[in-house]
Amino acid sequence: MSMLASFLLTLQEAACRDPARGAVSPLQAALIAARLPLEVLELGGFPALLVPLHPQPRGLLSVHYDVVPCDVQGPPATPAADETRVLGRGSSDVLGAAAALVLALRDARERWSSPPPLWVAFVGDEEYGGTGSRLLAERLPSTVRWSLVLEPTEEAFAFASAGSLEVHIDVQGRASHGSTPEAGVNAVREAVYILERLEGAVAELARHEDPTRNPVLTPLMLAGGSDELVIPETARLVVDIRIPPGSSPQEIQKAVEAALATYGGPAHLKTAFLDDCAGAWEVDPEAEVGPLLRRLYREAAGREPSLGFMPSWTDAHAYHARGLYPVVWGPGRLDVAHTAREFVQRDALERAYRFLLAVLSHSWD
């Protein structure tokens, strides 16, 4: 097994024991062993590992070390490896890229006549609140102009990203014996009806042929009732709405509010829009370091770079909000992340290592 795959498994096993902070210790140990400058920051209760390579950095390489739990909805995403893949939680999102970045830092250090004008950060809480990147963005020097954020994009360079709006709806019905449904108000049934109305309202906002570039509503949770013979009195519906470039959080929220206002059913609704809603962002692929990063990838990986789109919130939102030019890139597939099927191809990890080594070894004159 390669050193990269072995190190990734170490990170995964630590993260499965503690999804929020477990990978910090082996990452920190590897950075210290590589004799790299290291600062440990406390950002909102989450440690961040900062490698400040230069006093006046122009760019930031950022990756998060936290993962979702290994046993989300069913069988656990147990770390393992076969001849072509590393499997399990964090392999794709995004400890594989973190492992490649650490080894690239170690090997780039031997090439430097002087350190590049870059900082490298390993931050926490990306999967839930985005605390690490938000607080780090506030501390960055004014010299930092761009950020390369590592996330699973199948090695495509994403110069645009969707935002998201999360909505919680509590449905208050009226209980009755399950054999007399007409005497009650079934909160679960009303929640399903409300969900269908919201899906229709969001679908009407579609403007593009590419479905990934349109708003889409995803039900995350519908909870209510029991296995007793009683009409459910309460239900909770949680939905996430993807906000693509060209749409605003205000537009999406207005459509949701309008659909709920015309509900007119027998249940009572209480709606909450989460405060940490983030809009979409998009930058010019030909601006700033966009062309250079793609050239370095072409030379290091021996293949043509492709342009992609990140359909999810990432730490890049925090850096974009502070005025940086963000690029999202990384090995692995987003669609299998957070599932028991999560994996990353080992050859993709090796290409990631070579590309990141090229970025860290570039002269940046």
CATH of the domain at 354: 3.40.630.10
Whether 277 has a pLDDT exceeding 70, the answer reads no
Assign 216 a pLDDT band (cuts: 50, 70, 90).
Answer: very high
Residue 10 sits in the same domain as residue 85: yes
Look at residue 186 and tell me whether its pLDDT is greater than 90: yes
40 and 133 in a single domain? The answer is: yes
Closest residue by Cα to residue 147 from 11, 341, 281: 281
**Same domain assignment for residues 194 and 339:** no
Q: Are residues 187 and 155 in the same domain?
A: no
Shared domain check, 261 and 189: yes
Q: Which of 212, 245, 273 is the last residue of a domain?
A: 273
Q: How many CA atoms lie within 13 A of 276 on its CB side?
A: 13
- Tens digit of pLDDT for each residue in 11-66? 999 999 999 999 999 999 999 999 999 999 999 999 999 999 999 999 999 999 99
Radius of gyration for the chain, computed over Cα atoms and rounded to the nearest angstrom: 23
* Number of domains observed in the structure of the chain: 2
Look at residues 233, 252, 273 and tell me which one is the last residue of a structural domain.
Answer: 273
Is-contact 91 342, C-beta < 8 A?
Answer: yes
Gap between the Cα atoms of 121 and 135, Å rounded:
12
Flag whether the pTM goes above 0.85.
yes
Residues 153, 299 within the same domain: yes
Whole-number average pLDDT of the chain:
96
User: How far is the C-alpha of 133 from the C-alpha of 315, rounded, in Å?
Assistant: 6
Q: Check residue 274 and give its pLDDT.
A: 86
Please say whether the beta carbons of 273 and 309 come within 8 A: no
The residue range of the domain holding 237 is 163-273
Same domain? For 18 and 119 the reply is yes
Same domain, 205 and 243: yes
Task: Write out pLDDT tens, residues 77-120.
Answer: 999 999 999 999 999 999 999 999 999 999 999 999 999 999 99
Dihedral sign of CA atoms 275, 168, 208, 204 in order: negative
Do 151 and 16 reside in the same domain of the chain? Answer: yes
**pLDDT of 303 above 70:** yes
- 11 and 63 part of one domain: yes
Burial degree of 107 (CB within 10 A; 0-12, 13-18, 19+): middle
Is residue 185 within 8 A of residue 173, CB to CB? The reply is yes
Residue 300: pLDDT band (50, 70, 90) is very high
List 146's β-bridge partners, or say none: 59, 325
- 226 and 287 share a domain? no
Q: Is residue 154 left, alpha or beta, with left meaning phi > 0 and alpha meaning psi from -120 to 50?
A: left
Query: Which residue's structure tokens are 């993962």?
Result: 67
Residues 325 and 206 in one domain: no
For residue 282, what pLDDT is reported?
Answer: 97
What's the pLDDT band for 276 if we cut at 50, 70, 90? Answer: low
The count of residues in the chain is 365
> What's 194's domain CATH number?
3.30.70.360
Nearest Cα residue to 251 out of 191, 219, 204: 204
Closest of 290, 284, 317 to residue 137, by C-alpha: 317
> Which is nearest to 151 in space by CA: 361, 360, 354, 352?
352
Pairing of strands 85-87, 343-345: antiparallel
Q: Distance between CA 237 and CA 279 in Å, rounded? A: 22
**At 152, is the pLDDT very low, low, confident or very high (cuts 50, 70, 90)?**
very high
SS3 label, residue 112:
coil
